[in-house]
Amino acid sequence: MTHTLIYPVHANHTADGHLEVDGCDVVELAHTYGTPLFIYEEKTIRDQCRRFKDAFAACANDYEIIYASKALPIIAVFQLVEEEGLSLDVASGGEYHTALVAGFPTERIFYHGNNKTRWELEYALDNGVGTIVVDSMDEMDLLETLLAAAGRRQRVLLRVTPGIEAHTHDFIQTGQIDSKFGFGLAGGLARDAIERAMASPWLDLWGLHAHIGSQIFELGAFRSEISVLADLLKETREAFGFECRWLNAGGGLGIKYTADDTPATIQAYAEVKCRGLREEMARVDLPVPRILVEPGRSIVAKAGITAYTVGTVKKLPGIRTYVSVDGGMSDNIRPMLYEAEYEVMIANKVDHEPDTVVRVVGKHCESSDVLVKEARLVSPEPGDILVTPVTGAYCFAMASNYNGSCRPAVVMVNNGKARVVVERESLDDLVARQRPLRSES
């Protein structure tokens, strides 16, 4: 390969200069299944699951790795991570339903969310949810009512807002005091929530959950988070005898989207968390709880790429060249939401050096529909298959029908074989749930 770009993990190139992922020619896949197309390497998803398990097995006595499904909530991936022994985190009734259809063991499901509705809670309770992560007093009221009616107890964790600010984009920070998530430490809310849950005949409080954000590069924030949680555990042990069996001092490991990103390794992430927990628990003289870890992005992001077809190349003399692809913000809204950056390459020209700087844009009716502001490409032309690597997390999951787009297909590749795991939406799908005012017959 001639470029210093980010490549799919099992990338190669064919004799005719096409990008290949795990033995499948990307140009052929694009022509067979159409574009935009999400292509995932099964091996990479499995490898990431194993790296998390190995890293925590090496430093923790008791741990549980939980796939945060919102990054890519599809049946095929739920089945893969289940086979790899991971548990599952869902954040809605819809994700819970997908997990049920995938046959995921419900005992290993954690149900999150700051506004779980009554039907969602009922659906999870009726279908054997293992753990509910309670986010507010109102939720506690509702949950207690439902459990009292059913006459049974439910394992819960409480989500606590630790007041730690991770260095990441504002929109993906979650641990700051001014947050819609969880019970704040400020004002004693978290302490009150623990006291109340312990007193409830219906809630079986097993521990705490915290989360400080996503795409985190500086591991030091985790130590601060654990330290703050340790203080809370000490205080509530002394005040009400609270015993924390499971602790999730959460926050997502950053991943490499572009050559400039330098994320920590999974091992370093595990070591900081394990050592932090051991030392902080020793400091407050409490037993070390099971450590829960919830990776989403770092399981699926680098396993996925998106393939597009170039439609137009518009040269504005003295300004710039716009290369338009047949997708955009309807299949990857992250550049517009978080100023996320991606690299890009032409799958049918990977054996040439890039010679042009262009702006890669989507086909939507918004000027903000820019996928890559400054892309170095090999003389882009209509018909080229353009690929953005590392689109495996939060791209398909956030896809929309904007401008009447049919959401893309998802293909999984493994050792030269490709399988469709999500069909492309059809034009009929687009209008299937619409009811006309007048019948045209």
Ligand X SMILES: *Cc1c(COP(=O)(O)O)cnc(C)c1O
Tell me how far, at minimum, the Cβ of 250 lies from ligand X, in Å. Answer: 5
Contacts (CB under 6 A) with ligand X, residues 96-115: 112
Kindly indicate which of the ranges 66-74, 308-316, 381-389, 433-441 contains the residues binding ligand X, using the contact rule CB under 6 A: 66-74
Beta pairing, strands 109-111 & 131-134: parallel
Residue 240's alpha-carbon distances to 136, 198, 331, in angstroms, are 20, 8, 49
Tell me how far, at minimum, the Cβ of 264 lies from ligand X, in Å. Answer: 13
Binding ligand X (rule: CB under 6 A), the pick from 98, 173, 214, 309 is 214
Kindly indicate which of the ranges 65-73, 119-127, 281-289, 364-372 contains the residues binding ligand X, using the contact rule CB under 6 A: 65-73
By CB under 6 A, is residue 250 in contact with ligand X? yes
**Helical segments of 108-259, H only:** 118-126, 137-150, 189-199, 220-240
Distance CA 149, CA 167 (A): 44
Kindly indicate which of the ranges 63-71, 344-352, 368-376, 411-419 contains the residues binding ligand X, using the contact rule CB under 6 A: 63-71
Longest distance between any two alpha carbons in the chain, whole Å: 77
Binding ligand X (rule: CB under 6 A), the pick from 10, 108, 297, 407 is 297
Kindly indicate which of the ranges 64-72, 139-147, 303-311, 401-409 contains the residues binding ligand X, using the contact rule CB under 6 A: 64-72
Between residues 251 and 389, which has the closer beta carbon with respect to ligand X?
A: 251
Active site residue 365: yes
Residue 261's alpha-carbon distances to 6, 173, 255, in angstroms, are 10, 18, 7
By CB under 6 A, is residue 211 in contact with ligand X? yes
Contacts (CB under 6 A) with ligand X, residues 387-426: 393
Distance CA 214, CA 156 (A): 23
Contacts (CB under 6 A) with ligand X, residues 71-90: 71, 89
Coil, strand or helix at 199: helix
Tell me how far, at minimum, the Cβ of 346 lies from ligand X, in Å. Answer: 29
Binding ligand X (rule: CB under 6 A), the pick from 184, 295, 354, 380 is 295
Tell me how far, at minimum, the Cβ of 111 lies from ligand X, in Å. Answer: 11
Binding ligand X (rule: CB under 6 A), the pick from 35, 224, 298, 324 is 298
Structure letter (DSSP) for residue 432: T
Tell me how far, at minimum, the Cβ of 305 lies from ligand X, in Å. Answer: 18
Among candidate residues 90, 58, 7, the one with its CA nearest the CA of residue 265: 58
Q: How many other C-beta atoms are found inside a 10 Å radius of the C-beta of residue 80? A: 23
Beta pairing, strands 304-316 & 37-41: antiparallel
Tell me how far, at minimum, the Cβ of 36 lies from ligand X, in Å. Answer: 22
Kindly indicate which of the ranges 36-44, 124-132, 292-300, 396-404 contains the residues binding ligand X, using the contact rule CB under 6 A: 292-300
Contacts (CB under 6 A) with ligand X, residues 119-138: none
Q: How many residues bind ligand X (CB under 6 A)?
A: 15
DSSP 331-371: T--HHHHH------EEGGGTTS---EEEEEE-SSS-TT-EE
Instruction: Name the residue whose CB lies closest to ligand X.
Output: 252
Coil, strand or helix at 122: helix
> CB-based contacts of 183: which residues, under 8 Å, 6+ apart?
135, 136, 158, 159, 160, 161, 189, 190, 192, 193
Going 296 to 302 to 308 to 310, the CA torsion angle's sign is: positive
Tell me how far, at minimum, the Cβ of 334 lies from ligand X, in Å. Answer: 12
Q: How many other C-beta atoms are found inside a 10 Å radius of the C-beta of residue 435? A: 5
Binding ligand X (rule: CB under 6 A), the pick from 19, 68, 277, 406 is 68
Among candidate residues 298, 296, 256, 291, the one with its CA nearest the CA of residue 273: 291
Kindly indicate which of the ranges 259-267, 291-299, 371-379, 397-405 contains the residues binding ligand X, using the contact rule CB under 6 A: 291-299
Torsions phi, psi for 293 (to 5 deg)? -130, 135
Residue tagged active-site, from 24, 59, 365, 395: 365
Binding ligand X (rule: CB under 6 A), the pick from 10, 13, 70, 407 is 70
Distance CA 312, CA 13 (A): 25
By CB under 6 A, is residue 296 in contact with ligand X? yes
**Which residues here bind ligand X, judged by CB under 6 A?**
68, 70-71, 89, 112, 211, 214, 250, 252, 294-298, 393
Task: Supply the residues annotated as catalytic.
Answer: 365
